[in-house]
């Protein structure tokens, strides 16, 4: 650190330079991210609450109330009955907390998840010193239920299912998993991506599956505000069916305004809480449904364009994530990168992957498919 601080202008110049190197969603080149440009207004709200710290809730009763309202709104969206929860920093934190809770409640140590579960489950196992038990996929790239049944043991603490897998947006057979786990094993649903999508698919005429608290065996669900929630980073909502479950991770917090802390983080960025409240309050179901509708229409358009240039898709998308089968995904991705397209890859199966977020418009798709045809020989 320099002895004397730089001038405002100098520091801003450096920041402008750094910002200029970053990709912006509005440029329409980022096709692999599960985040998007936060909705209008949420950034202002975020800034307004930049000081508040829900790690010390007694000082921020207003922000704490917003968090409670979020829990209540999300509870109703996910067929819960004023369940318990917390606004957290993202899917990773919520997945780790879910495993932590399940371990403490059950006193058991094994985590069952499938090959295409988000890598945060590996982090959870490492941090919590729990044993990962991986299961395979069925032909739709969903968790293989038969294998889950085989792999549940007396030491299983938690089964983790995805409702919107990172790779292809697949929804695991949560109805069947719920039957298997009910009153036996903690079932956590990672709907980090799908939580703000799946509730609206049925209304829009797309196939959908139950994935939330309407299934008795579901113990907790996470959904992310900074993904399809249209809000700012950081925000996820972890919701639990039983209040006691969250208490299982409580530690005394003597120097703060609350007696106990039941979160993984100490100081908690609460700007994301306010911004998510703003997004949910102003969009309502109608607003989210419209966003999901646009994303789904564009996803189906991408699929038809991919097929028009004689490439295939591993599965017909169930939500706004589309796999694209090409001969040599690594090479094609590199060449697309050379044309300034930021596309990601799936491992199961080995293919390109486009997340059709709100910033991925029809014009973006047209321009992308043009370059994809060029580099793939499609």
- Closest to ligand PLP by CB, 39 vs 191, is 191
> How far is it, in rounded angstroms, from Cα 239 to Cα 59?
24
> How far is it, in rounded angstroms, from Cα 19 to Cα 13?
10
Q: Which of 34, 143, 157, 160 binds ligand PLP (CB under 6 A)?
A: 34
Q: Does 270 bind ligand PLP (CB under 6 A)?
A: no
Q: Which of 60, 193, 213, 288 binds ligand PLP (CB under 6 A)?
A: 193
Q: Does 169 bind ligand PLP (CB under 6 A)?
A: no
- Closest to ligand PLP by CB, 264 vs 311, is 264
The residues pairing with 325 across neighbouring beta strands, listed in sequence order, are 312
Q: Does 192 bind ligand PLP (CB under 6 A)?
A: yes
Q: Does 120 bind ligand PLP (CB under 6 A)?
A: yes
Q: Which of 55, 57, 80, 91 binds ligand PLP (CB under 6 A)?
A: 91
Q: Does 173 bind ligand PLP (CB under 6 A)?
A: no
Q: Does 196 bind ligand PLP (CB under 6 A)?
A: no
The residues pairing with 221 across neighbouring beta strands, listed in sequence order, are 189, 239
CB of 195 vs ligand PLP, minimal distance in Å? 9
CB of 280 vs ligand PLP, minimal distance in Å? 17
- Concatenate the DSSP letters of all residues of 341-365 into one string: -B-EEETTTTEEEEE--TT--HHHH
260, 271 in Cβ contact below 8 A?
no
CB of 8 vs ligand PLP, minimal distance in Å? 33
Q: Does 90 bind ligand PLP (CB under 6 A)?
A: yes
> How far is it, in rounded angstroms, from Cα 246 to Cα 88?
13
> Count of CB atoms within 10 A of residue 286's CB?
10
The residue range among 53-61, 89-97, 270-278, 288-296 that interacts with ligand PLP, by the rule CB under 6 A, is 89-97
CB of 187 vs ligand PLP, minimal distance in Å? 15
In which element (H, E) is residue 237 found? strand 236-240
Among all chains, which residue has been given the structure tokens 């966003």?
291
> How far is it, in rounded angstroms, from Cα 37 to Cα 29?
13
Q: Which of 110, 142, 172, 224 binds ligand PLP (CB under 6 A)?
A: 224
Q: Which tokens belong to 331?
A: 């090479």
Count of residues in the chain: 378
Q: Does 166 bind ligand PLP (CB under 6 A)?
A: yes
Q: Does 346 bind ligand PLP (CB under 6 A)?
A: no
> Count of CB atoms within 10 A of residue 6's CB?
11
Where b means 16+ CB within 10 Å and e means fewer, 80-104 reads beebbbbbbbbbbbbbbbbbbbbbb
| Pairing assessment for the beta strands 156-162 and 131-135 based on DSSP bridges | unpaired
Q: Does 162 bind ligand PLP (CB under 6 A)?
A: yes
Summarize the chain as % helix, strand, coil (round to 5): 40, 15, 40
Residue 214 CA from chain centroid, whole number? 20
Q: Does 114 bind ligand PLP (CB under 6 A)?
A: no
- Closest to ligand PLP by CB, 108 vs 188, is 188
The residue range among 86-94, 108-116, 242-250, 362-370 that interacts with ligand PLP, by the rule CB under 6 A, is 86-94
The residue range among 85-93, 140-148, 246-254, 274-282 that interacts with ligand PLP, by the rule CB under 6 A, is 85-93
Q: Does 118 bind ligand PLP (CB under 6 A)?
A: yes
Residues forming the site for ligand PLP (CB under 6 A): 34, 90-92, 95, 118, 120, 162, 166, 190, 192-193, 224
């Amino acid at each position: 650190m320099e002895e004397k601080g730089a001038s405002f202008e100098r520091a801003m110049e450096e920041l402008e330079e750094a910002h200029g190197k970053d990709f912006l969603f509005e440029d329409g080149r980022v096709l692999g991210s599960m985040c998007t440009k936060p909705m209008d207004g949420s950034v202002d709200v975020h800034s307004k609450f930049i000081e508040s710290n829900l790690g010390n809730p007694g000082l921020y009763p207003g922000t704490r109330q917003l968090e409670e309202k979020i829990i209540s709104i999300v509870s109703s969206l996910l067929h819960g009955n004023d369940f318990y929860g917390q606004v957290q920093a993202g899917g990773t934190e919520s997945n780790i907390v879910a495993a932590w809770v399940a371990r403490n409640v059950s006193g058991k140590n094994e985590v069952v998840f499938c090959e295409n579960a988000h890598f945060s489950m590996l982090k959870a196992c490492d941090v919590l010193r729990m044993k990962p038990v991986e299961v395979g996929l069925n032909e739709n790239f969903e968790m293989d239920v038969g294998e889950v049944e085989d792999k549940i043991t007396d030491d299983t603490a938690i089964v983790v299912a995805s409702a919107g897998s990172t790779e292809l947006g697949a929804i695991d057979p949560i109805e069947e998993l719920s039957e298997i786990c009910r009153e036996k094993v903690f079932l956590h649903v990672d709907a980090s991506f799908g939580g703000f999508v799946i509730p609206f698919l049925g209304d829009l005429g797309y196939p959908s599956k139950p994935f939330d608290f309407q299934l008795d065996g579901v113990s907790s669900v996470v959904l992310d505000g900074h993904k399809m929630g249209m809000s700012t980073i950081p925000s996820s909502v972890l919701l639990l069916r039983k209040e006691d479950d969250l208490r299982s991770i409580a530690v005394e917090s003597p120097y703060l305004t609350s007696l106990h802390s039941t979160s993984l983080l100490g100081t908690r960025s609460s700007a994301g809480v306010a911004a998510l409240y703003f997004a949910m309050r102003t969009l309502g179901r109608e607003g989210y449904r419209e966003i999901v509708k646009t994303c789904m229409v564009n996803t189906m358009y991408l699929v038809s364009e991919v097929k028009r240039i004689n490439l295939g898709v591993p599965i017909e998308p169930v939500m706004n994530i589309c796999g694209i089968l090409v001969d040599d995904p690594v090479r094609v991705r590199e060449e697309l990168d050379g044309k300034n397209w930021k596309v990601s890859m799936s491992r199961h199966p080995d293919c390109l992957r486009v997340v059709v977020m709100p910033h991925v418009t029809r014009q973006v798709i047209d321009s992308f498919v043009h370059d994809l045809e060029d580099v793939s020989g499609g």
